[in-house]
């Protein structure tokens, strides 16, 4: 049986094994997928062992995506842009291909599941860390009218913007300087939600019919999802849909078949 795994630290709450088992059943593929706790210090040798013992593919999550980026032999274009790898595939010649399906997972959730069209829209991304870096390329390629990256540390937003300027119109901002702007879609890519916090957001940032999307997810509504609801967003959702979609794109890379995510998404929402 072909073997797959997700590596991370911590990993016990990972939903990936459940998601991939459901994809395997749905597409009638025979495979095993397990969660493995891997500390950064032993990432390289654990990965080598996994593939030496017959493993076919690995997902990497926090805090291993940058290590995976450095470890693989070749990169897809989107992994190169994001400087992070969340999916590794063992190729027929034994080499390791690194991909990043986070950005395409977000776009699939926004456009296909939620029915949004980003073309001509005013977008705001909160945060300028690894999560932001993973989503800017596909967001810009969807041709929004404007895309602002706001961050507490302005210099990090500016550095991020200079990396992605060649792809499309993108601006850096502090949170204070957002005042007076209105956005159709606000995406929270800060790690603030994980500790129940919110970036310092003004109260008049949402345009009519706006959408708030938190890359983070949790059992209860995240602080940012609640903020969006309080601000009158038409839709304010967390990143469970993106989680299912990035997994589906990883499954496609490994198995050559794109699973449907509707049941998986329903199950994740419990």
Find the shortest distance in angstroms from Cβ 154 to ligand ATR: 8
Q: Which is nearer to ligand ATR, 22 or 193 (CB)?
A: 193
In order of 21, 69, 120, 238, the CA distances from 153 in angstroms are 40, 25, 28, 24
Q: CA-CA distance, 186 to 264, in Å (whole number)?
A: 25
Closest listed residue to residue 86, CA positions, set 9, 8, 196: 8
Query: Are the C-beta atoms of 5 and 254 separated by less than 8 Å?
Result: no
- Quickly list H helices, 13-170: 16-26, 43-52, 65-71, 77-82, 102-108, 130-133, 136-141, 154-164
The active-site residue, picked from 65, 89, 90, 121, is: 65
Q: Which is nearer to ligand ATR, 5 or 189 (CB)?
A: 189
Find the shortest distance in angstroms from Cβ 135 to ligand ATR: 10
Structure tokens, 70: 């450095």
Q: Which residue is nearest to ligand ATR (CB)?
A: 129
256 sits in the region (left: phi over 0; alpha: psi -120 to 50; else beta) called left
Q: Which is nearer to ligand ATR, 31 or 189 (CB)?
A: 189
Find the shortest distance in angstroms from Cβ 127 to ligand ATR: 4
Q: Which residues bind ligand ATR (CB under 6 A)?
A: 127-131, 151-153, 156, 190-192, 197, 199
Q: Which is nearer to ligand ATR, 146 or 174 (CB)?
A: 174
Q: CA-CA distance, 270 to 265, in Å (whole number)?
A: 9
Structure tokens, 149: 């990256």
Find the shortest distance in angstroms from Cβ 155 to ligand ATR: 9
121 is catalytic: no
Find the shortest distance in angstroms from Cβ 199 to ligand ATR: 4
Decide: helix, strand or coil at residue 214.
strand
Q: Which is nearer to ligand ATR, 126 or 264 (CB)?
A: 126
Structure tokens, 125: 């991304």
Q: CA-CA distance, 55 to 90, in Å (whole number)?
A: 8
Please list the active-site residues. Answer: 65
């Amino acid at each position: 049986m072909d073997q797959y795994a997700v590596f991370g630290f911590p990993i016990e709450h990972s939903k990936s094994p459940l998601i991939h088992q459901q994809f395997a059943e749905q597409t009638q593929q025979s495979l095993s997928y397990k969660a493995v706790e891997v500390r950064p210090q032993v990432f390289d040798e654990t990965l080598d062992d996994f593939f030496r013992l017959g493993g076919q593919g690995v997902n990497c999550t926090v805090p291993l995506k940058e290590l995976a980026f450095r470890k693989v032999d070749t990169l897809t274009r989107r992994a190169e842009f994001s400087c992070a790898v969340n999916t590794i595939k063992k190729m027929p010649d034994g080499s390791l291909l690194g991909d990043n399906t986070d950005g395409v997972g977000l776009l699939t959730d926004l456009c296909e599941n939620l029915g949004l069209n980003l073309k001509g829209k005013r977008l705001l991304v909160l945060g300028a860390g690894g999560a932001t870096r993973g989503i800017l390329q596909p967001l810009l390629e969807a041709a929004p009218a404007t895309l602002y990256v706001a961050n507490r540390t302005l210099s990090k937003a500016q550095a991020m913007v200079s990396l992605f300027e060649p792809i499309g119109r993108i601006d850096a901002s502090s949170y204070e300087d957002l005042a007076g702007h209105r956005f159709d879609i606000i995406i929270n890519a800060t790690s603030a939600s994980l500790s129940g916090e919110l970036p310092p957001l003004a109260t008049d940032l949402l345009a009519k019919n706006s959408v708030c999307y938190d890359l983070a997810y949790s059992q209860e509504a995240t602080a940012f999802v609640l903020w969006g609801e309080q601000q009158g967003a038409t839709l304010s959702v967390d990143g469970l849909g993106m989680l299912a979609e990035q997994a589906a794109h990883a499954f496609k890379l490994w198995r050559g078949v794109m699973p449907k995510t509707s049941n998986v998404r329903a199950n994740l929402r419990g």
